[in-house]
Amino acid sequence: MSAAPTPVPAPGEDRASAPAEPRAPAKDASQLRQKQLFADYFETLAHAREAGRKVVYTFVPGNVVELLGALDLLPVLPEINALQSAMRKRSAAHIAEAEKAGHSEDVCSYVKCDLGMLKSGNIGPTGTRLPEPDLLLLSYTGCFTFMKWFELLRQEYHCPVVMLHVPYQPDGVITGEMRRYVVDQLRHQVVPALEKVAGRQLDDEELRRRLTRSRQAEDDLVAVWESARHRPSPIDGYFGGVYYIGPIFSAFRGSEDAVAYYRELRSEVEARLRRGEGPVTPDGAAAAERYRLVVEGPPNWTHFNDFWRMFSREGAVMVSSTYTRVGGLYDTGFRHDAERPLESLADYCLGCYTNLGLPSRVALLERYIRDYQADGFLINSVKSCNSFSAGQLLILRELERRTGVPGGFIESDLVDPRYFGRANIENRVQSYLQMLEARRGRSAA
């Protein structure tokens, strides 16, 4: 599930929109800021070599970008390349390229999309070439595929790799042993490897400053998530939410830019709340809120806006989601902490959503359904991702049993368009929403 959405394109902008559809709505200031943030970032990456900057590839969930930032290292996050390729309709070609090179149809499409992109010249989302890594930082959180992914990349780049093995949280508890294991790896292996690439020592004060800024952004992000408790919700916590996590899940956590982005986003959301407005959708202001849903599972990136519209046009708002917690779960109280730098980085890595055992995932979803007063919940089960998908049918039953709220189940994929059956998905969504409607009628009667 890796992932974070990111920059461009913003709602209403992806190529999934049919030409005859309404023009993209005017963007909020935070959207423009995010777009500029990522444009600048890719520009910086494009010129990293000339500028003498060092580049570290790492993954979204459990990344330690504060450390990279404190050492002036530039992160590249391959999952973001993959999802960006999908939003730009390039993933099919990249996946085909990887399968031609011997990669199985059965495995995670993020990996294949990234490898195919690499084989096609490693051109990033803004059309510029991504720099090769000076180091692969394999932070191994919530999914075994990450390990294979970097083994594959190592064969392409022949650069050093440093691993951060993050233990799994099967029982929803971070034990002292787990934390110590991660902290010791950070202290004795990850930081020295980063310092070697950076050619300088880690400045502890700079790390603390960054962790303090992470915390500020996290506070604001949680306020944004929690705004969805109101009726109508001023945000869509899944489709819209993937934009909100862009900066904080990727290269920017710990930066001034991220602080400014989340401050601005929060104030916009609070203004919408005061005005009683719903979320912004691909078609502009949302239809009146009719259904409040919680979502489990990653989105489909190849038909992102089409998928969103299947709900937004029916007045279905996603009030909360687990996918938007894959790169950090802040609304259960965790914050990066300048007073405990490495310990809080360890807790962050350990606490990402798919690093939690299934019982904890069910408990979190149950809590979201109750706290956000959801009428239903939806599971988008993606073929690519065993980390998310294995067990989701039991999650469905368990949640229905515990909450009495009906669940819907859809199957698609992250970036492989072959597995997005539009008509089938649309039928399922329609039937599900009709069922919610009928249920509502029955309980009103």
What string marks each residue from 313 to 352 as x (binds other proteins by CB under 8 A) or -?
----------------------------------------
385 binds ligand SF4 (CB under 6 A): yes
At 410 the three-state DSSP class reads strand
Kindly give, in sequence order, each residue whose CB lies less than 8 Å from that of residue 401, ignoring residues fewer than 6 positions away: none
H helix or E strand, kind and range, residue 281? strand 280-281
113 binds ligand SF4 (CB under 6 A): no
Taking the CA of residue 31 as centre, how many other CA atoms within 13 Å lie in the half-sphere pointing to its CB?
A: 18
CA dist 370 and 379 (Å) reads: 17
Q: Is 353 exposed, middle or buried (0-12, 13-18, 19+ CB in 10 A)?
A: buried
State which of residues 104, 274, 275, 441 lies at the interface with other proteins (CB under 8 A): 104
The single-letter code of the amino acid at 50 is E
Kindly give, in sequence order, each residue whose CB lies less than 8 Å from that of residue 169, ignoring residues fewer than 6 positions away: 178, 350, 351, 355, 356, 357, 360
Binding range to ligand SF4, per CB under 6 A, among 157-165, 187-195, 327-335, 384-392: 384-392
CA dist 417 and 211 (Å) reads: 38
State which of residues 40, 72, 151, 204 lies at the interface with other proteins (CB under 8 A): 151
Answer with the entry of other proteins, ligand SF4, none that 216 interacts with (C-beta below 5 to 8 A by kind): none
What string marks each residue from 178 to 207 as x (binds other proteins by CB under 8 A) or -?
x-xx--xx--xx------------------
Nearer to other proteins, 190 or 259 (CB): 190
What string marks each residue from 305 to 344 as x (binds ligand SF4 by CB under 6 A) or -?
----------------------------------------
Kindly give, in sequence order, each residue whose CB lies less than 8 Å from that of residue 350, ignoring residues fewer than 6 positions away: 62, 141, 166, 167, 169, 174, 178, 179, 182
| In the complex, minimum distance from the CB of residue 11 to other proteins, in angstroms, rounded to a whole number | 29
State which of residues 139, 389, 403, 412 lies at the interface with other proteins (CB under 8 A): 389
Torsion angle, alpha carbons of 296, 387, 65, 139, to 10: 170
What string marks each residue from 230 to 269 as x (binds other proteins by CB under 8 A) or -?
----------------------------------------
383 binds other proteins (CB under 8 A): yes
Answer with the entry of ligand SF4, other proteins, none that 146 interacts with (C-beta below 5 to 8 A by kind): ligand SF4
State which of residues 4, 130, 182, 414 lies at the interface with ligand SF4 (CB under 6 A): 414
Binding range to other proteins, per CB under 8 A, among 96-104, 242-250, 303-311, 318-326: 96-104
Taking the CA of residue 10 as centre, how many other CA atoms within 13 Å lie in the half-sphere pointing to its CB?
A: 22
The single-letter code of the amino acid at 301 is W
State which of residues 411, 412, 429, 433 lies at the interface with other proteins (CB under 8 A): 411
Binding range to other proteins, per CB under 8 A, among 121-129, 329-337, 355-363, 368-376: 355-363
Residue 400 · residue 406 · CB < 8 Å = yes
